[in-house]
Structure 1
Amino acid sequence: MNATDRTPADLLGSALAADPARPLVTFYDDATGERVELSVATFANWVAKTANLLQDDLAAAPGERCALLLPAHWQTAVWLVACSSVGVLVDIGGDPASADLVVSGPDTLKEARECSGERVALSLQPLGGRFPQLPEGFADYAVEVPSQGDRFAPYSPVDPEAPALAVGGVELTSAEVVERAQADAAAQGLGPGSRILSGLPYDGWEGLSYGLYAPLATGGSVVLCRHLDRLDEKGLAGRKESERVTATMP
């Protein structure tokens, strides 16, 4: 990262400039056997497309609130940085009824319908697949995002001091997200080339930090594991070895 980076989107821009080919997010779902690896460049492309979807098709503006009803997943990580790119506040597990828009996985569609604004649904199927049947009242992310532009420029500059993330009853600005991520990385001895395995959910700061923000802030990468409890001790040891993991959370 650079000393001038004050938002998660800034961190991604610095990572892209430094080494676009290195891995950034490697995702496992041990309930389905899925494995997805995204380089910095591939992740940044998904972020750009999602930010364009937010800004243009969904008409999201800085300061608006997005209720994010998604588990720890590579697509969730994309949405977190895309919202940062636009200046939209991400409310993790937030109340859809009080949000300007909602982004939901397949298990929270009923709750998400309480949002009177735009609604986006993700199937969370392997390879970013579509819903077999589009949920009524929702846009299917897998249908809408591929046609979006590969580069993103916000209509308004993002204010690093504006609220950017609501999690666990606390609201953080973009600058505070970056500062906390840097502090967490230092506490765990993470640095350039570090590769952290995280089985933590995205419903609290610790999971978000070690599952995305801290590796992004330090030139590292994350092996993000969903349903990690389905892996036995031998399987976990094998994954750590094959993925060249240098730190594990929890």
Structure 2
Amino acid sequence: MNATERTPADLLSSALAADPARPLVTFYDDATGERVELSVATFANWVAKTANYLQGDLAAAPGDRLALLLPAHWQTAVWLLACSSVGVVAEVGGDPAGADLVVAGPDGLDAARACSGERVALALRPLGGRFPQPPAGFADYAVEVPGQGDRFAPFAPVDPDEVALVVGGEELTGAGIVARALADADAAGMPAAPRVRSALPYDSWQGLSYGLYAPLAAGGSVVLCRHHDRLGAEAAADREASEKITFRAPPAAS
């Protein structure tokens, strides 16, 4: 980390400058058999398109509150970094009724309708596929985002000392996310440029840190596993070997 890396978006910019071709987020869904691997460059491109959509079409501004009703998923990681890029506060599992806009997966659509602002739905289908029929009252992320620009510049500078994330009732600034992610990586004994396997949900700081922020801050990558409990022990061991895992996230805190 250097002095210019004050937000998660800054960390992503540094990773892109250092080695755009290396893997950053690998996602498995063991309920569907899906595997997606995104290099730093591909992930950053998704973030740029999503940030342009958020800032442009959705007219979101720094300080706006976005209720994020999504599971641990590579597209959730994209939205978290897009919010950081714009300065929008990502409220993980937040109350849509009190949010300026909401982003939801299939399981969160009913709750998301309480939001009076813009509503975006994600099908969470393999390869970022769209809904067969867009949910009424929602924009389909997979339809809206591909045509967005590949480069992003915020209309207003993002203040790293403003609140950027709310999770588990705790508010964190952009600078606080970076500092805490680095501290987590150090305290956990992550090796240099770790390849982290995480099966934790994204509903707590622990899950977000091991499943995104700490590997990014430490110059590494994450293998994000959803429905990992459906994988047998032998298959799990084979995956760790094939993915060259160097650090395994601990079980969720009870």
For Structure 1 versus Structure 2, the TM-score category normalised by the shorter chain is: over 0.9
Match of 2:147 in 1: 147
Matches within 5 A, 1:1-250: 1-250=1-250
Q: In the aligned structure 1, how far is the partner of 2:201 from the partner of 2:12?
A: 22
3-state SS of 1:107 partner = helix
User: 1:155-182: per-residue Cα shift (whole Å, max 9, x none)?
Assistant: 0000000000000111010000000000
Measured in 2, the distance between the counterparts of 1:209 and 1:45 equals 22
Stretch moving more, 191-200 or 65-74: 191-200
CA distance in 2, matches of 1:193, 1:179: 17
How far apart are residue 4 of structure 1 and its match?
2.0
1 CA distance for matches of 2:246 and 2:113?
41
Is residue 96–residue 112 contact of structure 2 (8 Å, CA) maintained in 1? yes
The residue type paired with residue 133 of structure 2 is Q
C-alpha displacement of 1:191? 4.5
CA distance in 2, matches of 1:96, 1:142: 21
1:193 positional shift: 2.6
> Quick one: structure 1 residues 78 and 133, their matched pair in 2 at CA, closer, same or farther if it must change by over 3 Å?
same
Q: Distance in 1 between matches of 2:4 and 2:189?
A: 22
CA offsets 1:68-102 (integer angstroms, 9 cap, x no match):
00000000000000000000000000000000000
Name the CA distance, whole Å, in 2 between partners of 1:117 and 1:190: 41
Contact 1:64 1:89 in 2 (8 A): yes
Q: Which SS does the other structure have where 1:200 is aligned?
A: coil
Q: Say which SS state the counterpart of residue 36 (structure 1) adopts.
A: strand
TM-score (norm 2): 0.97
Number of aligned pairs? 250
In the alignment, structure 1 segments of 5+ residues that lack a partner are none
Equivalent position amino acid for 2:139 in 1? A
| Distance in 1, Cα, partners of 2:25 & 2:222 | 5
1:177-213 C-alpha deviation (Å, 9 max, x unpaired): 0000000111122244310000000000000001000
Structure 1's consecutive aligned runs of 4 or more residues displaced over 6 angstroms after TM superposition are none
For 2:112 and 2:34, the matched residues in 1 are separated by 26
CA distance in 1 between counterparts of 2:192 and 2:98 reads 39
Name the SS for the 1:103 alignment partner.
strand
In the TM superposition, residue 218 of structure 1 has moved relative to its aligned partner by 1.1
State whether residues 191 and 247 of structure 2, in contact with CA within 8 Å, keep that contact through their aligned partners in structure 1: no
For the Cα contact (< 8 Å) 1:105–1:123, is it kept in 2?
Answer: yes
- State the one-letter code of the partner of 2:39: S
Return the TM-score normalized by structure 1. 0.99
The answer to whether the 8 A contact 2:191-2:246 is kept is no
Secondary structure at the aligned position of 1:108 is classed as helix
Distance in 1 separating the partners of 2:73 and 2:12: 18
Distance 1:208 1:245 in 2: 18
* Residues 22-78 of structure 1: CA deviation (Å, up to 9, x unaligned): 000000000000000000000000000000000000000000000000000000000
